[in-house]
Chains A and B, each alone.
Chain A
Amino acid sequence: MIEVKGLNQTFMLGKKHNQTKLQVLKDVSFTVEKGDIMAITGRSGSGKSTLLNLIGGFMKPSGGQIFINNQNVSEFNEGEFSDFRLQHIGFIFQNFQLITSMTAYENVELPLVLKGVPETQRNELVINTLAKVGLADYQNHYPSELSGGQQQRVSIARALIIEPPIILADEPTGSLDSETEQDVLAFIQQLNRDYGITFLIITHDEEVAQIGNKQIHLHDGKIVKEELAR
């Protein structure tokens, strides 16, 4: 489903004429199978967010290749990756990344709007998806009127609405209290179980990493440990 081959990422830091190289990822290779929950762990600065951003197409790799559904996405340009994301990848962000001027309904509807789904079909899909995440009664609420857990559920609903085969989650519980964290993690597991959605989760939290059936540990941009669930 996701195949990462010899991925390297280098950033140039400092002033223009006095730059220094910082290699964030060093020859990273791994595979995520369909239906997996893969957890990528590591301390701050280990390169795990960079890895997710590369797989999500938010930046171009300095070297190596990324295959998603057998397509070499590392060669895509920005427009091609946008279209690809809209069809194949859902995102869950640590800070939810909801558009504050839109209601929960409108935020969840947004991917369908971008896909060009007719308005008549959108209504039913959005209401069903909001019901699935337990927010049917909150559709007209703005993000500022929702709790952190509810906002993350809206974010999950927005990722789910396009029925993606893959969801990339960047610290999905990082902004939540422990009780809500358990709810969200249980929900992720449920989605994986019921719909076969593949998850790639970035976390520094061991408890979150435990829900994965595969785990990769990054240290200084290198995979130092790769293990299957106990």
Chain B
Amino acid sequence: MTWKDKWRFVRKNMKKSKSRIFMTVLATAMGVTFLIVLASVGFGLHDSIIKEQLQDRAVTQMEIAGLETEGAFQLITDKQIEELENIEGMRAVTRRVELQQTPSFQIEDYEGSGSTVVAHFPSEIEAGLELSEGKLPENDHQVIVGHHFAQNLHQANVEPDELYNENGEIKDEYQYSESIVGKEIEMMITQMVDGEEQQHSISLTVSGVAEAPARDWMIDTTVFISEAVLAEVEEFTGTPRGARNDPDYPLPEEETLGYHQVIGYADSLEEVETISDMLKEKNYYVYSVADELSQINVIFTIAKAGLIFIGTIAIIIASIGIYNTMTMAVTERTQDIGIMKAIGAHPKKIKQIFLIESSYIGVLGAIIGTAVAYAISILVNAGIPLIISGAMGEELPEGFQFSAIPWSLVAISTAICLIVTILSGLKPARRATQVDVLKAMRREI
């Protein structure tokens, strides 16, 4: 018996009880829809949270805070930087030293402040530092400024009440509006000497402006100075990294010299975990997005598995309908089965026909259920942000989705649906093979 003929049999049999088959397919489709929609919330939130995590930093980035040596914390020094740079798969290691005071900067009639760091430009470039304007410094007194540095400069001698708008931002009319590249700025540093504040000015030229940070809401007003400028600052303050002599915050007796911010960049996301694990073994304090992702992934994998399990219950309930439908089909066709067996139909062929029928119900249910689930998912993603903004007045981040249906979910739910429907059709199909030819032909069933 060819598969085409088996299929013809199945279709003919199904046509005989259209309404019953329709209701069974409907129940199966509802089960599949329930499973997919339920699990799609887990998939959607997982995707959205991962996207959120990856949006504000490079995925290949590892923050290396320091090193534990003999039970004590130590900042990363040039010795460790060399070791880190030699790790296979490590693309770049950026290191920054923060100036221990926040200097003010002046340009023409404008002034402002910003955190000041000493950066190692070759590694920053390798790590992907890009300029939106200008070029890299060519001498010690040239600097790069953060993307929002110029916006942070305001006209001097304006009262604070007048300077800021209701959102606490500098009013447009007081902001520095010209391009800052090539301009000379004065960096004012201070130090307390015998209870009096003394100032020192260092002239710097802005050679370039960094690209805006990945996140819209992040403000970058950093000023990247050279080692030579730091040395000049230290010479004036007489303290390491330009720290002020503040009686409230005395300097530590032994200052650990090292980098305040060290970030390693791996060649790929896959390397991050390997390098991160290796560094942890060597007592480095490492934190990478991979750590965060793996924690999130574990939580969401458990959550998704739970949702799929709950959804599967709906399909199992639907399978009771399939079992009933198939049992009815076997009972109704007992005489036909008996005749077919009498003529020479192998029990296996009879079984296959009934299994194809129950599988077909499962396939139809899976197709219809998946299509409906996609439609519901689109509606949920479009409707829920509107409901939240309408009812709670809160805006969700752009691209945030509640429900996502990846192909893996479709494959999982289809597989579950098919397994459940085949299993529920198995007993009736087996019963069909056990039909007694003589009883069936005498209609004694």
Does B36 lie at the interface of the complex (its beta carbon under 8 Å from any beta carbon of A)? no
Mask of A103-132 contacts with B, CB within 8 angstroms, 1/0: 000000011011110110000000000000
A158 and chain B: residue at smallest CB distance: B343
The distance in angstroms between the C-alpha atoms of A30 and B16, with both chains bound, is 46
Asked whether B1 lies within 8 Å of A116 as measured between CB atoms, the reply is yes
Asked whether B438 lies within 8 Å of A114 as measured between CB atoms, the reply is no
Chain A min CB distance to B351 (Å): 11
* Among candidates A84, A91, A101, residue contacting B343 with C-beta atoms closer than 8 Å: A91
Asked whether A116 lies within 8 Å of B346 as measured between CB atoms, the reply is no
The distance in angstroms between the C-alpha atoms of A101 and B346, with both chains bound, is 21
The distance in angstroms between the C-alpha atoms of A99 and B339, with both chains bound, is 7
B338 and chain A: residue at smallest CB distance: A97
**By DSSP majority rule, is chain A's interface helix, strand, loop, or mixed?**
helix
The distance in angstroms between the C-alpha atoms of A118 and B1, with both chains bound, is 9
The distance in angstroms between the C-alpha atoms of A83 and B346, with both chains bound, is 6
Asked whether A82 lies within 8 Å of B341 as measured between CB atoms, the reply is yes
Does A14 lie at the interface of the complex (its beta carbon under 8 Å from any beta carbon of B)? no
Task: Place the interface of chain A in its size category.
Answer: 20 to 34
* Among candidates A58, A78, A95, residue contacting B347 with C-beta atoms closer than 8 Å: A78
Q: A113-B5, A116-B1 are in contact. Are A79 and B340 (CB under 8 A)?
A: no
Mask of A46-59 contacts with B, CB within 8 angstroms, 1/0: 00000001001011
Does A211 lie at the interface of the complex (its beta carbon under 8 Å from any beta carbon of B)? no
Asked whether A95 lies within 8 Å of B441 as measured between CB atoms, the reply is yes
* Chain B positions within 8 Å of A118 at CB level: 2
Does B269 lie at the interface of the complex (its beta carbon under 8 Å from any beta carbon of A)? no
Does A26 lie at the interface of the complex (its beta carbon under 8 Å from any beta carbon of B)? no
**By DSSP majority rule, is chain B's interface helix, strand, loop, or mixed?**
helix
* Chain B positions within 8 Å of A95 at CB level: 441
Asked whether A99 lies within 8 Å of B336 as measured between CB atoms, the reply is yes
Asked whether A82 lies within 8 Å of B344 as measured between CB atoms, the reply is yes
* Chain A positions within 8 Å of B349 at CB level: 114
Mask of B1-13 contacts with A, CB within 8 angstroms, 1/0: 1101100000010
Mask of B348-360 contacts with A, CB within 8 angstroms, 1/0: 1100000000000
Does A5 lie at the interface of the complex (its beta carbon under 8 Å from any beta carbon of B)? no
Which residue, of B5, B336, B344, B345, has the highest number of chain A Cβ atoms within 10 A?
Answer: B344
Asked whether A114 lies within 8 Å of B441 as measured between CB atoms, the reply is no
* Chain A positions within 8 Å of B342 at CB level: 56, 58, 85, 91, 93, 97
* Chain A positions within 8 Å of B336 at CB level: 99, 101
Other contacts beyond A79-B348, A87-B344, A99-B340: 13, CB < 8 A: A58-B437, A86-B345, A91-B342, A97-B339, A97-B342, A98-B339, A110-B340, A111-B344, A113-B5, A114-B344, A114-B349, A116-B1, A116-B2
Q: List 15 A-B contacts (CB under 8 A).
A: A58-B438, A59-B438, A82-B341, A82-B344, A83-B344, A89-B344, A91-B342, A93-B342, A93-B441, A97-B339, A111-B344, A113-B5, A114-B1, A158-B343, A162-B344
